[in-house]
Chains A and B, each alone.
Chain A
Amino acid sequence: MSQAVLGARVQRKEDARLVRGRGRYTDDIRLPGMLYAGVVRSPYAHARIRAIDTRALEKLDGVVRVYTGQDLKGRLGSIPTAWIPPDSDLKTVEHPALAYDKVRYVGDGVALVVATSRGVLEDALEAIRVDYEPLPAVYDQLAAMKQGAPQLHQDAPQNVALHWRAGTDTEDAFRRADVVVRRTFRQQRLIPNPMEPRCAVAQYDEATGELTVWATTQNPHIHRFLMANILGMPEHKLRVVAQDVGGGFGSKIACYPDEVLVGYAARDLRAPVKWTETRSEHFLVTTHGRDHVDEVELAGTKDGRILAVRVRAYANLGAYLSTAGPGVPTILFGLIVNGAYDIEAASSEVYGIFTNTTPVDAYRGAGRPEATYLIERMIDSYAREIGMDPVEVRRRNLVKKDQFPYTNPFGLTYDSGDYHQTLDLALKTLDYDALRQEQAALRQQGKYLGIGFSTYVEMCGLGPSQVAGAVGFQGGLWESALVRVHPTGKVTVFTGASPHGQGEETTFAQIVADRLGVPLDDIEVVHGDTDRISMGWGTYGSRTTAVGGGALALAADRVVAKAKRLAAHMLEVPEAAVEFEQGRFYPEGDRRRGVSLQEVTLQAYLAWNLPSDLEPGLEASAFYDPTNFTYPFGTHVAVVSVDAETGEVRLLRYLAVDDCGPVINPMIVEGQVHGGVVQGIGQALFEGARYDQDGQLLTASFLDYAMPKARSLPRLETLHTVTPSPHNPLGVKGVGETGTIASTPAVVNAVMDALSPLGITDLPMPLSPPVVWEAIQAARQSGGVS
């Protein structure tokens, strides 16, 4: 049993309900007397609120209450950020749940309406008249930093929210370099779109003074922590529950005004209140991702040795600081811009900038895709500059197997790896030489085939709490687990992580089944409820299995340790002479006698005959704080063809070779890689928010915002190598974000490789048909080879 369960392609336990429509999402909650809340949102990107006229509501039956920003001023705390990078001069500007003087982006809330039905609510939202005085707006971070640009916040001159630096001196390396490559990259703004938009339901119990908030969150305990403060209520009287959550990709980390408002209204009105985001609202107000302008310089020798890399990044943070917003373009980006390469000198300088746009926060990968994009694109640019195969440049600069643990120029210690092995496996699988020959032959026929690589490393498994503190994250990053064996031998597992689609109800059950030797079906994984789980930090940063799973393994081992003492007592042998295998305890070397964990458990609860120093019951908890991040890595390869007549990029092959340590469930890992890769392809080829000069979002629905679709994707090939992390109990590294981190540059590198005969070196993402076609036209007109 135990050999079989870890590493087995076990079907996801949660799917039995999810694929049959039996999941229980927040919006499925119906409470007696429940009211419906909606937010009146600014149609302007920047405006002063002159007056709010709600008189029209008097004629509408079923409107219960309207709150304006002025009504709530002083009654609710500011929505805080939870990440204050050290030495960054971060301007922690006020973020009221409802704007009371000025709106700062399209979608900024100005009033909350509560009504008896959704129909009445939507009529009421339309009927409210807000008198705005429009102000000049700025949506672009570079424009926002200029003299005379519209100012968003009084306390942030020139809209600079933060200025942060890290790394080593690079001057010497640049002086010694044969070649210096300079590029400016724009990493466009993305709009995360989980299947389920956000939702919150709140209910106040007058008898106990307890407020329960059901919310679509990736981290209910962080929500409780922040909301208790904002709402001004004791933390133990606030319960936050994340039922089934239909995906988040980072966009459900943040504490938003909406759930705070719902909690406030439920307490104030003494009635349950629900708010459900529409998809149109989601595009406008749920946090966006990426949005960088990056100036990058790489110094190298002419024989392919990289000496230094330095980056200056301008990160658009949107109108307010979101929960993790300031940490994403600094800590999660600037400390790993050397990527998987052994580069002696590297530095990062980051400006975080306020603009009249939706706040920006974590989006799958959060900072690490941005960093990886830069270094992987620079490797290819450098390779082209010195006339070397980009594979060879990678081979010469990747950190070598015998260099681990490897400390990068920013002080991060990469835990373990064999980067060259993933590259070799990818080349062999592709038959790289044959592919290059095919490319050459096609070029003779005027056809454009491209091969692009990305040999990435990621820092994840967030993370050691001491480091979290040192980098300004306003929380710990350890994780909790409780393993409770019930008297009959059935098991409930409580985790402080909060999976919302990643499949840990299954992988966590596999971990426990392996440790305890009990059947998978006898294990229930409970998560996402601050009343059932003492504390936890949630699911993001590919931390759930590495940290939450680590806590679980430790807790399960403690259960076994206690059971073993009782088993020794029952078997009448010394504890040291008890062996535990596949759910049974045996006297050493004697398989004829033995007691099952189930039998031991029953005795633990009956407590008729326990050793004198043993307490009844059988459960154990663990609070596991990792000593380091984990560093999954791998080689991704995209093979593309470019249709020069339409500009369309077609993916012919996509190969992902990943090393995330031991694989607990190959099917789930493949699913994570598939989804991640597709999201990264989305950035490379399809997705991108666009604003007009007034700060209006032009890509505000699926009519204009292109998500990747099945018809545009090839069959994804996935392979693995296994290099355990040396520092966590399971050796696992995390795989939730690797695909997204690796695939964007692999695809863009492939397209640039395809277009290299035309002399095209870089194009702005997304590489949509008109972008590619216009570049080809321009190249041909300027006399490039066709």
Chain B
Amino acid sequence: MIPSAFRYRRAQTVAEALDLLRQEPEAKLLAGGQSLLPLMKLRLARPGTLVDISRIDELRRFEVRPDRVVIGAMVRYHQVLANAELRARLPLLPQAVAVIADPQVRHRGTVGGSAAHADPASDLAAVFLAADAEFVLQGPQGERRVQARDWFLGPMMSNLQPDELLCRIEIPLAWPPHQAYLKFPHPASGYALAGVAALVSRAPDGSVEDVKVAVTGAGQLPFAAQGVTAALKGQTLSRQLMREAAERGAADGTYADDGPYSAAYRQNLARVMIERALAKASES
């Protein structure tokens, strides 16, 4: 439970952090440390240098603008939970954050750290995909913007390059508050066995103007359940229809057996949770 030896450097600016990333051998950025430090203590991660970015002011920006929310990479989960405006404008996000781990983790862990870590069962992955988050990176070549659909490249592998820093995440505030995040936690780890983010907007006649659903945990990677959108857009919601949409949406994922959880079980769970999240979002 003691990490192997490493150097510790604290960056005061984004530019300095990028320099350190380039100069230090096997450098790794340290944000909230809630995933990286346990891995280091188990010696599953052995960075040569930790570059602490927690004091960089720019990364602590947190603004709810008329059209979007801007979340600096160092914004901690509990700050998201405490933001009343966000609860009104993008309730999906605090709903998801509220079920991440435990209060200790929520006071240390950061939104950016979770995004960069790219755990395929992270709750926020579903939110990023459903709400079309945009990741703003800084690297040696300057700024780069990556859409959520291009972010999750593999398990624990995001689009972030080793010499880049995730500065902030921007999420458009384009949806009415018919939103829900529903999670079926793994009984041991508490990670999502299936976590579903659902956003619904209704036309004046009550039919579905648009709907977006994304699933985390169940599949090998978090995915947008586009089948749901295809099945429901323009339709009037019914239980039967939501069931069919959930079926099609779950089919968008790729599933694998994992211990006691067979691929068939995981896909079923994705379907059930999509259906329930749709029902909850449309009722909200």
Query: Shortest beta-carbon distance, A679 to chain B, in Å?
Result: 15
Contact B2–A773 (Cβ < 8 Å): no
Q: B43: CB under 8 A from chain A?
A: yes
Contact A704–B265 (Cβ < 8 Å): no
Q: Which residues of B contact A278 (CB under 8 A)?
A: 1
> Interface segment, A119-127, A334-342, A634-642?
A119-127
Q: Which residues of A contact B42 (CB under 8 A)?
A: 280
Query: Shortest beta-carbon distance, A773 to chain B, in Å?
Result: 6
* Chain B, range 265-284, C-beta contacts under 8 Å to A: 265, 268-269, 272
Q: How far is the CA of A582 from the CA of B9 in the complex (A)?
A: 68
Q: A774: CB under 8 A from chain B?
A: yes
Q: B255: CB under 8 A from chain A?
A: no
Q: How far is the CA of A686 from the CA of B186 in the complex (A)?
A: 10
Contact B188–A773 (Cβ < 8 Å): no
Closest to A117 in B: B2
Q: B189: CB under 8 A from chain A?
A: yes
Q: How far is the CA of A118 from the CA of B4 in the complex (A)?
A: 11
Query: Shortest beta-carbon distance, A631 to chain B, in Å?
Result: 34
Contact A706–B188 (Cβ < 8 Å): yes
Contact B268–A773 (Cβ < 8 Å): yes
Contact A690–B265 (Cβ < 8 Å): no
> Interface segment, B79-87, B229-237, B256-264?
B256-264
Contact B2–A119 (Cβ < 8 Å): yes
Closest to B272 in A: A645
Q: How far is the CA of A773 from the CA of B260 in the complex (A)?
A: 12
A708-742 near B? 1/0 per residue, CB < 8 Å: 01001000000000000000000000000000000
Tell me the count of chain A residues lying within 8 A, CB to CB, of chain B: 30
B191-206 near A? 1/0 per residue, CB < 8 Å: 0010000000000000
Contact A118–B259 (Cβ < 8 Å): no
Q: B66: CB under 8 A from chain A?
A: no
Q: A646: CB under 8 A from chain B?
A: yes
Contact A770–B188 (Cβ < 8 Å): no
Q: A702: CB under 8 A from chain B?
A: yes
Contact B187–A706 (Cβ < 8 Å): yes
Q: B184: CB under 8 A from chain A?
A: yes
Contact A771–B188 (Cβ < 8 Å): no
Query: Shortest beta-carbon distance, A523 to chain B, in Å?
Result: 38
Q: Which residues of B contact A207 (CB under 8 A)?
A: none
Contact B262–A770 (Cβ < 8 Å): yes
**Secondary structure of the B side of the interface?**
loop
Q: Which residues of B contact A406 (CB under 8 A)?
A: none
Contact B184–A646 (Cβ < 8 Å): yes
Query: Shortest beta-carbon distance, A641 to chain B, in Å?
Result: 15
Contact B260–A770 (Cβ < 8 Å): yes
Q: How far is the CA of A770 from the CA of B189 in the complex (A)?
A: 16
Q: Which residues of B contact A126 (CB under 8 A)?
A: 4, 43
Most chain B CB atoms below 10 A, which of A121, A770, A773: A770
Closest to A705 in B: B188
Q: How far is the CA of A464 from the CA of B265 in the complex (A)?
A: 52
Most chain B CB atoms below 10 A, which of A645, A702, A705: A645
Q: A785: CB under 8 A from chain B?
A: no
Q: How far is the CA of A647 from the CA of B265 in the complex (A)?
A: 9
Contact A703–B188 (Cβ < 8 Å): yes
A646-665 near B? 1/0 per residue, CB < 8 Å: 11100000000000000000
Q: Which residues of B contact A466 (CB under 8 A)?
A: none
Most chain A CB atoms below 10 A, which of B42, B186, B187: B187
Closest to A685 in B: B187
Q: How far is the CA of A769 from the CA of B4 in the complex (A)?
A: 39
Q: A768: CB under 8 A from chain B?
A: yes
Contact B265–A122 (Cβ < 8 Å): no
Query: Shortest beta-carbon distance, B276 to chain A, in Å?
Result: 9
Q: A698: CB under 8 A from chain B?
A: yes
Closest to B184 in A: A646
Contact B184–A704 (Cβ < 8 Å): no
Closest to A712 in B: B187
Query: Shortest beta-carbon distance, B141 to chain A, in Å?
Result: 37
* Chain A, range 726-770, C-beta contacts under 8 Å to B: 768-770
Q: Which residues of A contact B2 (CB under 8 A)?
A: 118-119, 121-122
Closest to A774 in B: B265
Q: Which residues of A contact B4 (CB under 8 A)?
A: 122-123, 126
Q: Which residues of B contact A686 (CB under 8 A)?
A: 187-188
Q: Which residues of A contact B269 (CB under 8 A)?
A: 646, 769
Query: Shortest beta-carbon distance, B101 to chain A, in Å?
Result: 12
Q: How far is the CA of A769 from the CA of B262 in the complex (A)?
A: 11
Closest to B275 in A: A645
Q: Which residues of B contact A703 (CB under 8 A)?
A: 188-189
Contact B189–A771 (Cβ < 8 Å): no
Contact A704–B272 (Cβ < 8 Å): no
Q: Which residues of A contact B5 (CB under 8 A)?
A: 119, 123
- 12 A-B pairs with CB atoms under 8 Å apart are A119-B2, A119-B5, A122-B1, A123-B5, A690-B260, A704-B189, A704-B259, A705-B188, A707-B188, A768-B260, A769-B269, A770-B261
Known: A119-B2, A119-B5. 7 other contacts (CB 8 A): A278-B1, A648-B184, A690-B260, A769-B187, A769-B193, A769-B269, A773-B265
- The 3 A-B pairs of least Cβ separation, nearest first, read A706-B188, A706-B187, A703-B189
Interface residues of A (CB under 8 A from B): 118-119, 121-123, 126, 278, 280, 645-648, 686, 690, 698-699, 702-707, 709, 712, 768-771, 773-774
